[in-house]
Copies of this chain bind each other. A is one copy, B any other.
């Protein structure tokens, strides 16, 4: 990796969370050649020449409401086996640099600022970051804990939407990797369209839903009717605790259900459970049970068990998104990017099955390349 004159900012909402920490530390490790770029489609041959910012050119910062410094978070992730042992010590400068660019988010309890004041403050943080580092642009990525689905008729914007609005105000491309509201909702979608910025969401597709998005089309193509699709997720860590809140879990499950509805044409029987199991730490086990009909009504089943680390699954996707949106911005693309449905459970349009989404992504790479 050589030094880059042009540098790009990545601003994480939830900058001290597991995903952001893994992405920040991992980007440094990959840029330094310590690890291959596993999990990053943008580092595979089809993306060569698409003009994406180099990993070594990314500068990290963000908002968070937690105090625990990034180097300490990284150590904790290494102790839990999410990061390789010793890795945080191998890239101390990058970790410290990112920590120095984390600003206090909000609203914290007792904060009396209005929505607009909060948006202004957040936008100022981002703009200041961009200016001080002389960045070509900064992409804002929401990787904060899932917030409960907003109550109907709520007067204030959800927190995720405050940050999204701040991104717009700061002129930044935006990606929502969580099921939280972000730019969704009538007021902000209009503003986003008007802002002339590219954006993408919602809810990163990292494990169980990723699988569903390849398996569901198989049943359709083979004309095998799915009668029931049931799932259970066991996970600990902060995500497990956040999703133990039924309202947050409901927000998450809506995305999972959408994948089945969009690919199967109807929602089959079956529920999805998300259990907080602190003993699992940052590791997740997802079990799916699919009951389907065969010829002449023969009853058949498929079961899948996925065991992975959510942060390690999410981090390379987050880096992909930041790079793709940065380049999209550079080439003048605006509005929702359905070409990025590959990354999301609940995408901004585009096809529902992973194969078609991958084809769309390759087409996007081609388009970015042509825009050079």
- The chain A residues found within 8 Å of chain B, CB to CB, are 22, 26, 29, 35, 37-41, 43-44, 81-85, 87, 210-211, 214-215, 217-218, 221-225, 227-228, 230, 232, 234, 268-271, 273, 275, 277-280, 285, 287, 289, 291, 293-298, 300-309, 312-313, 315-316, 342, 353-356, 358
- The answer to whether A295 touches B26, judged by C-beta atoms less than 8 angstroms apart, is yes
CB contacts (< 8 Å) of A38 on chain B: these are: 223-225, 293-297
Main secondary structure, interface of A, reads: mixed
CB contacts (< 8 Å) of A342 on chain B: these are: 221
Asked whether A232 and B279 contact (CB < 8 A) given A40-B223, A223-B41, the answer is: no
- The answer to whether B223 touches A43, judged by C-beta atoms less than 8 angstroms apart, is yes
CB contacts (< 8 Å) of A84 on chain B: these are: 296-297
26 A-B pairs (CB sep. < 8 Å): A22-B296, A38-B293, A38-B296, A39-B295, A41-B223, A43-B223, A84-B296, A84-B297, A217-B358, A221-B355, A223-B316, A227-B279, A228-B234, A234-B270, A234-B289, A269-B277, A269-B279, A273-B273, A287-B287, A287-B289, A296-B312, A298-B312, A300-B313, A301-B305, A301-B307, A304-B305
A22 to B298, CA, bound (A): 11
CB contacts (< 8 Å) of A37 on chain B: these are: 223
- The answer to whether A221 touches B356, judged by C-beta atoms less than 8 angstroms apart, is no
Interchain nearest-CB distance for A24 vs B (Å):
12
A307 to B280, CA, bound (A): 14
CB contacts (< 8 Å) of A312 on chain B: these are: 294-296, 298, 300
- The answer to whether B296 touches A29, judged by C-beta atoms less than 8 angstroms apart, is yes
Which of B39, B83, B225, B304 has a CB less than 8 Å from the CB of A223?
B39
Q: For A29, A230, A342, which residue has the most chain B Cβ atoms within 10 angstroms?
A: A230
- The answer to whether A218 touches B227, judged by C-beta atoms less than 8 angstroms apart, is no
Interchain nearest-CB distance for A185 vs B (Å):
30
Asked whether A228 and B277 contact (CB < 8 A) given A38-B293, A297-B84, A308-B298, the answer is: yes
A143 to B307, CA, bound (A): 31
- The answer to whether B81 touches A224, judged by C-beta atoms less than 8 angstroms apart, is no
